[in-house]
Chains A and B, each alone.
Chain A
Amino acid sequence: MGALRRVGRDPANPWQQIDPFLLLIPVLIGLIGVVMVYSATRNGLQIDGGDPYFYAKRQLVYVVLGAGIMAVSLLVDYRAYRDHAVLIYLGVLVPMLVVLSPLGSKVNGAQSWLVLGPVQLQPAELAKVAMLLALAAWFGAAQGALTTEHLFRGLLVAGLPIGLILLQPDLGSSLVLVAIVLGVVVVAGIKPRLLLALAMTAVLLAVGIFQSGRVADYQRDRLSVFLHADTETGGRSDAAFQLAESKTAIGAGGLAGAGLFNGSQTKLRFVPEQQTDFIFTVVGEEFGFIGSALLLILYGLLVWRIWLVAQGSRDMFSTLLCAGVLVMLVFQVFENMGMTMGIMPITGIPLPFMSYGGSAMVTMFLAVGLVLNVHMRRFI
């Protein structure tokens, strides 16, 4: 734990207390992502007569934008965010309601996009951070053991955005929120009995949602492909094809990978949605096991630093905030990589800092920024 000891630095000066890991790893992964997005999209763009750098350029802008927003967010003491958590929470709920109105746009079967002139936004992404702030503030304020009443009020806070996201319906994002909630309540000290009850409710709810007909066909396909892997039932759907090609791309990478821009699955665009949810297949195919493991190590380092910050934070709010960011990051990494490798069902969850897309990028930078913020101001 010596890494956190900043001997000779002024504990009162937050800018001397910045953890370079937390600052640089997201940027590094983001830049790798830009190259991967370029590899995944250049051929398709070229064939269609477009600029092969189109997506890569935009992704670079997202990385810079995300890092910039994170930097700006550091100017403000994290406790200010805590104190205005309700405002932020409500501020995000508004676009989430708007997106469900005819003003929202449908992409991939979910009413999840808000188009404001040249800017397109996925409010569900921002909701992750907003909800986490509100939850951490609520449970952080509680002293001693978590009462049932306190818990339920907290769940109400979480339930509103989750419900709105399910209405879109965006199953993936709502799952991330559920994971965050679980992580926060566990660290907050939920009684095992209540945790069990909560988990069971979540399962029942999930089954209920699945049976309700609110779930699109493609989502059923995805789950059935996962449950009946390599059998006839799931064999012909788009999801099965996507999964098969995804696994083929990763597997074909072998130990050392095909080399940058050399993966045939990637070059010939066999993996659908490769630049977004399936960006990891580019890493897998072109850099092989060695490159993939290195990427995992980068994520691992990031998670480890967040965990350390959570451990070393000065108040419950900070601990819960960091724990929430940690769970969000880990859940998304695990679910995203897991689905590309066929050990998790396919859901539309982006790979943090890598998948093409601005909202998710900015959200992840904001989340890590909060952890940085907690860390740099832990002495004041």
Chain B
Amino acid sequence: MSVARPSGAAGQAGPQLRLNVIGIVVISLFVALTTRLWYLQVMAGSEYKLAANENQVRTIYEPAPRGRILDRDGQVLVDNRISYVVAIDRTKFNDLEPGRAKKLTEDLGVLLGLPVDEVVKRMDNKRLGPFTPVPIAEDVNEDLLVEIRERQQEFPSVVTRRVAVRFYPRGRLASHVLGYVGEINSDELKKRGDPYRAGDLIGRSGVESTYEADLRGLAGERQIEVDRRGRPVRVIKHRPPKQGNDLVLSIDADVQQVAEEALGTSMATARHVRFDDGKWLKANAGSVVVLDAQEGSVVAMASLPDYDPGALVDGISTEEYAALNQPGDAAFLNRAIQGEYAPGSTWKLVTGLAALRTGLIPPNYTINDTGTYQIKNCKEGCVKRNAGAHPYGSVDMRRALAVSSDVFFYSLGDAFWARRGEFGKNPMQDMAAELGFGSTTGVQLTHERDGRVLTPDGLKELSTNEKTAKLFPFGDWYVGHNVNFAIGQGETTVTPMQLANAYATFVNGGTRYQPNIALRVDRQAGEGETPTVVRTISPRIARTLALAPEVRGPVLAGLRDVTRFAVTATGDGTVAGVFDGFPLAQYPILGKTGTAQATPKQDTALFVAAAPADAPRYVVSVVVEQGGFGSVAAAPVARKIFGFLSGLENGAPVQPVTGSE
């Protein structure tokens, strides 16, 4: 130390040494501060910058109204309406003193008619972010809303909002096709990620689900700069929400309505008919599919029982949901694509085409139908009968289809098995697969089922698979299986949609479509402007089948005779009576009935038809569960629909029926 020191200073060594110690302590404290500064600002600086940004900017999402859903003529099937929501802003609520908060929940409960516990429970919504107000009551009366706003001082932290919710101008019409929307759950949220957020609505079934991306729209975003107390300082950015696009369905609302009403009426009528077992027919459920066979689209799709989608808008309780899903009554089930039924005699299309195209029989092949059929080389259960053992006499393909001779088709099943060395084990199954059976049709709807077309190898597999071995203990395919298969009994199941699509494929000359449920997506325009087309949904062809005239001809002729009287010496077409009085000369209808055993349930009634027969455009398939004879419970539904489509019955013509389009 060379400090200029005054002489005689009290510069003892002691205090100077101790000052050095203090100096060292001071240096280390400054080093500590600098180190900490370095860490906070340089090493962790970017994180803190992010945090400061988040602090500063609050993003508020404004959900977009979903697009509307229209029928093919522009009739609105799903629209939006305003629902008033009362919600609590939890950031503000938590700032309230406990006494005030308690009073608020009580007052709010009284106003909304909710117990306090329920208010508290709804407030504890863990799915929503802390800044998103939690809805306490939805769809509240507008007067109540005004009251809350007028008494805002008494309801601090309570906010009211207008939100768009689904509205169904046609009520239950086409409820299964339309589907419904619900709040996104955490699993879906994880799977979908951006741009979905908790509290968003998402299509849960039907086209609401399959066209989610078009209908959803784009949520608005409001970025607000806020201060420490969360008070907005200024709006940084505002992007208004963009409503989703409109979906134009191929469904014709008027045809849909006729189909639903006709089905309901027919089921009600069937319940006044006794079944073989002496009990009344249950006719508890049914479905209708109307396809445009030329366009490859769905014109109507009905399923009963149905549900009221409007009742789901505010959410339903678990009990209500369970009621809608009750076995046997499952109203949520879209039976047109989810119901799997034995096809019965409607299957004869498959067997007939298979026999003709493989050359198993010549087109003019004829047998004498005595009402019973004895399976050759058979040990047990070898005698098969027509319904009521009715003898039809001399029948060929055409007549066998018209009167629905089982004996004729038994013989084909028998012959196919006998000559499996020549045609393989699956000639009928192959035909079925080409017509689209055994796999989904690909219509843009959720949860479509496959149905089942069993092959000998498939049966073997089922009997050896642990999971299915109990249901199929015997893995060997005998001639009996083949004979049963030929008339659509046994293990074969089809959906009404598959049935309609297979017939559509046949009648349009061999083009199998993946039926479309929608025609296009439109961007809605302002008042008086025409909407712009966002995209057109083109027909999708699954495959084309080569059906030679000598194969297609006899089958087509047989199906045409189904609606005619006196097609054989002893019999009429199976639904000649049903179509009695219908102007078939103007609008010929072809079809096929089916009455399928569904033990232990009562028989399934089926009817598939197409018209006009010369150049079929529409295909209608009707299935009534536990409906008895197809001709009784199912065919009358088709008559009503064709009557409407042709404009020849029940009202003026809707549109001119042309050959093809």
Residues of chain A at the chain B interface (Cβ within 8 Å): 1, 4-6, 11, 183, 186-189, 245, 247-255, 264-265, 268-272, 284-285, 288-289, 292-293, 296, 299-300, 303, 307-308, 310-316, 318-320, 323, 326-327, 330, 333-334, 337-338, 341-343, 378-379
Contacts and interface: CB of A to CB of B under 8 A. Distances in A.
Contact of B52 (A248, A288, A333): A248
Contact of B228 (A250, A269, A327, A379): A269
B14 interface: yes
Contact of B41 (A251, A269, A300, A315): A251
A191 to B, nearest CB: 12
Interface of B: 1-6, 8-12, 14-16, 18-19, 21-23, 26, 29-30, 32-34, 36-38, 40-42, 44-49, 51-53, 55-56, 225-228, 233
Nearest to B41: A289
Nearest to B23: A307
Contact of B55 (A264, A284, A319): A264
Contact of B56 (A264, A292, A334): A264
> In the complex, which of the residues B9, B30, B33, B51 has the most CB atoms of chain A within 10 Å of its own CB atom?
B33
B3 A252 contact: no
Contacts of A11: 6
A326 B22 contact: yes
Contacts of A253: 41, 45
**B interface SS class:** helix
Contacts of A303: 26
Contact of A293 (B4, B34, B52): B34
Contacts of A289: 37-38, 41-42, 45
Contacts of A293: 34, 37
Contacts of A255: 41-42, 45
B19 to A, nearest CB: 6
Given A186-B18, A316-B10, A292 B41 contact: yes
Given A189-B15, A289-B38, A315-B9, A254 B228 contact: no
Contacts of B33: 296, 333-334, 337-338, 341
Contacts of B23: 307
A97 to B, nearest CB: 33
A188 B48 contact: no
Given A311-B19, A378-B9, 11 more contacts: A1-B2, A245-B55, A248-B55, A254-B49, A271-B228, A307-B22, A314-B5, A315-B10, A327-B22, A341-B37, A342-B36
**A interface SS class:** helix
B22 A186 contact: yes
A266 to B, nearest CB: 10
Q: Which 8 A-B residue pairings sit nearest by Cβ, starting from the closest? A: A251-B48, A252-B52, A254-B45, A314-B9, A289-B41, A315-B10, A312-B3, A268-B227
A268 B225 contact: yes
Contacts of A288: 41
Contacts of A254: 41-42, 45-46, 49
Nearest to B50: A252
Contacts of A270: 52, 55-56, 227-228
Nearest to A6: B4
A314 B6 contact: yes
Nearest to A244: B51
A252 B228 contact: no
Contacts of A187: 15, 18-19, 22
B318 to A, nearest CB: 34
Contact of A330 (B26, B48, B52): B26
